[in-house]
Amino acid sequence: MDKYYHPNDSLIAEYAKGTISPGLGLLVSAHIKQCEECFFKVENLSAREAQSLKEAQGESPINLDEAFDTLMGEIDEIVEPTLQEEVNPVQTLHVKGQEFTLPLGLTFALEKPVNWKEFGKKSCIAPVMETERGNLYFIYLGPGEEIPNHDHEAVEYSYVVQGCYESQGHFLSTGTFSQFNNGEQHSPRAVSDDGCLVVSWVEKRLNFFTGVFSPLNKLLWWYLHKA
């Protein structure tokens, strides 16, 4: 799989097994709902996991059918009172005069004000989830604007909610999933008329400054995450 357009096989396997980190899992989930190829990969891996459990049933005193029925009953009790709230969640994000419809898995970010930090003339970024394993961000790039060239201390994963941007000769449009690795440099630039909304999962920190200016990276990261 091309890492600039789809999750790699390792991420697909982690998602199917449920071992993927929550923030990154939201991006993979949003992508597979748009990508038939990745959807069927997840389905096949999940079917294999289910078959393995079924084969293990003969070696275990646990009746998996009964356990499954009990679990589903407990889930029904939890979900039923809030079902109406979940049917019509707020899905619309407004930024810089544009309106974007978020994937259902990301609507939780609209439960409180989004703390946008502006850069450039028409672009902005907002942290929406912070964890020990990584941070989740909304990034809006205005038409023709770009994020300054930077590299990565770990891995940056991104999902395009709407629009299209170009990065190092690759054009990432609505529904695509990309991965930029440790030390890899790029400078994403919006090429769609209404700009581009991206959701990114960033492990560790991005570095925009090098050499004697390197200490400014910590200052920039502090500013991004302060309330």
Q: 28: closest CA among 48, 9, 50? A: 9
Angle at 190 between CA 132 and CA 215, to 5 degrees: 45
| Cα first-last separation, the chain | 38
- Strand, coil or helix: 93: strand
- Confidence band, pLDDT 50/70/90 cuts, at residue 183: confident
User: Would you say 219 and 195 are in contact if contact means Cβ atoms under 8 Å apart?
Assistant: no
* 2 falls within a domain: no
- Domain end point (choices 54, 87, 120): 87
Within-domain flag for 1: no
Q: pTM for the whole thing?
A: 0.79
- Asked if residue 4 belongs to a domain, the reply is no
pLDDT bracket for residue 174 (50, 70, 90):
very high
Give me the pLDDT at residue 133, please: 86
**CATH label of the domain that carries residue 32:** 1.10.10
- Identify the pLDDT of residue 22: 86
Examine the fold and report which residue of 87, 110, 128 is the final residue of a domain before the chain moves on.
87
